[in-house]
Amino acid sequence: MMNIHKFIMPEIIFGNGAIDQVGNSCLRLGASNVLIVSDQGISEAGWLEAVMKSCEKAGLKYETFIDITVNPKDIEVDKGRDLYLQKECDAVIGIGGGSAIDAAKAIALLATNGGNIHDYEGVDKITHPLPPQVMIPTTAGSGSEVSQFSIILNTEQKKKMTIISKSLIPDIAIIDPETLVTKSAHLTASTGIDVLTHGIESYISLAATPLTDVYARNSIALVANNLRPSVASKLNKEAKTNMAMASLQAGIAFSNAILGAVHAMSHAVGGRYPILHGDVNSILLPHVMEFNLIANPPKFADIAYQLGVKACDMSHMEAGKTAIEFVKQLIHDVGAPTKLSEIDVKKEEIPQMSISALNDACMITNPRDVTVETIEELFRKAW
């Protein structure tokens, strides 16, 4: 707390029906011709149309680009950039899960900074301002709508590149819980465990501050109370609204406090396999929590408290262990995967994945030191 720390987030518009404000939001940012970046599923669910209508109402021209796939790829970003430049767009809307939003940000980045997306891997490589960006998450998971992160797959090297820069923080994030009702139970569970991972990793991160801690803690409590009901019913709007709020708060926390070993390792897996990011996190989270426990017993005890564990008579270490058991039970109850073997990850890839994880930007803030060997050991435990 004594060091100088920085904290930044976009303007937030949150609530049922908020999606209708996207056109006016772009107008307010000076846009006239917007590139809307999304994916096939969002288009089929009707949310793309809602965005187009709002843009029309605001008198904006727009182009759509819906070729983004799960774990968005450098080649998709290139295509989007080409369309943006060819159509002379001047702003970007991203609507969808973390993949669509991360891709939208990467397109905005290339549009004004030029070069190849590979050039920007790492921290603070962006030199020119980005065009106005308005992001609309539809999964209550990635937090990308408020974060300074974009994760893009390097298709040649089969690895996820973590790009971190304040310039990637959108201007306006529009969170409309109504968009969550079209999600499957599996996707709800997977993205919900991703939110929990964001909350926990940012809370115990070496870069955590009092400004991020309040959101990290509250997001953990919101997930503990609302993820099961949200998975149980597509129509439980209260649970969906609370999960959207949890995702937002965890996103604000991790954008400023960064993450840890779960995400570093998860990026290494996601670079090689077309697997949902949240599913990998769900497998890795309990193992990494066990490993990280000794790095911050008081915060782990508070995680137990936020999860609703009656832990007031326990030592910090005991409470922390109870928190890990709670997380395992939650993962079990929502039907998320628990073993890498379940999702067909090959054991012989462990050494390569461990090296990738060690070099991932998210590993820097993990609260316990790691080596390639400790990462390999964690991957093996997660088999």
Residues near a second copy (CB under 8 A) are 1-9, 11-18, 21, 209-211, 214-215, 217-218, 241, 245, 248-249
Query: How far apart, in whole angstroms, are the C-alpha atoms of residue 310 and residue 43?
Result: 44
Reported as type and span, the H/E element at residue 4 is none
Q: Which is nearer to a second copy, 126 or 153 (CB)?
A: 126
Q: Tell the smallest beta-carbon distance from residue 180 to a second copy (Å).
A: 14
Q: Which is nearer to a second copy, 19 or 340 (CB)?
A: 19
Q: Tell the smallest beta-carbon distance from residue 241 to a second copy (Å).
A: 6
Give residue for tokens 């990494």. 288
Closest CA to 25 of 50, 60, 49: 60
Q: Tell the smallest beta-carbon distance from residue 214 to a second copy (Å).
A: 4
**Residues across the chain:** 383
Query: How far apart, in whole angstroms, are the C-alpha atoms of residue 324 and residue 346?
Result: 26
Q: Which is nearer to a second copy, 87 or 305 (CB)?
A: 305
Q: Which is nearer to a second copy, 15 or 229 (CB)?
A: 15
Q: Which is nearer to a second copy, 216 or 269 (CB)?
A: 216
Q: Which is nearer to a second copy, 95 or 151 (CB)?
A: 95
Q: Tell the smallest beta-carbon distance from residue 187 to a second copy (Å).
A: 23
Q: Which is nearer to a second copy, 32 or 209 (CB)?
A: 209
Beta strand 149-154 pairing with 159-164 = antiparallel
Q: Which is nearer to a second copy, 245 or 284 (CB)?
A: 245
Residue 37 near residue 107, CB atoms below 8 Å: yes
Residue 39 main-chain phi, psi, to 5 deg: -135, 175
Q: Convert 216-227 to b/e letters by CB count within 10 Å (16 or more is b).
A: bbbbbbbbbbbb
Q: Tell the smallest beta-carbon distance from residue 175 to a second copy (Å).
A: 10
Q: Is 156 buried (19+), middle (13-18) or exposed (0-12) by CB count in 10 A?
A: exposed
Q: Which residues, listed in sequence order, are joined to residue 380 by a DSSP beta bridge?
A: none
Q: Tell the smallest beta-carbon distance from residue 249 to a second copy (Å).
A: 7
Q: Tell the smallest beta-carbon distance from residue 218 to a second copy (Å).
A: 5
Query: How far apart, in whole angstroms, are the C-alpha atoms of residue 161 and residue 155?
Result: 10
Residue 163 near residue 115, CB atoms below 8 Å: no
Q: Tell the smallest beta-carbon distance from residue 103 to a second copy (Å).
A: 25
Q: Tell the smallest beta-carbon distance from residue 304 to a second copy (Å).
A: 18
Residue 2 main-chain phi, psi, to 5 deg: -80, -25
List Cβ neighbours of 6 (8 Å cut-off, separation of 6 or more).
Answer: 256
Q: Which is nearer to a second copy, 167 or 282 (CB)?
A: 167
Read off the DSSP letter of residue 273: S
List Cβ neighbours of 257 (8 Å cut-off, separation of 6 or more).
Answer: 202, 203, 205, 207, 208, 209, 212, 216, 365
82 residue type, one letter: D
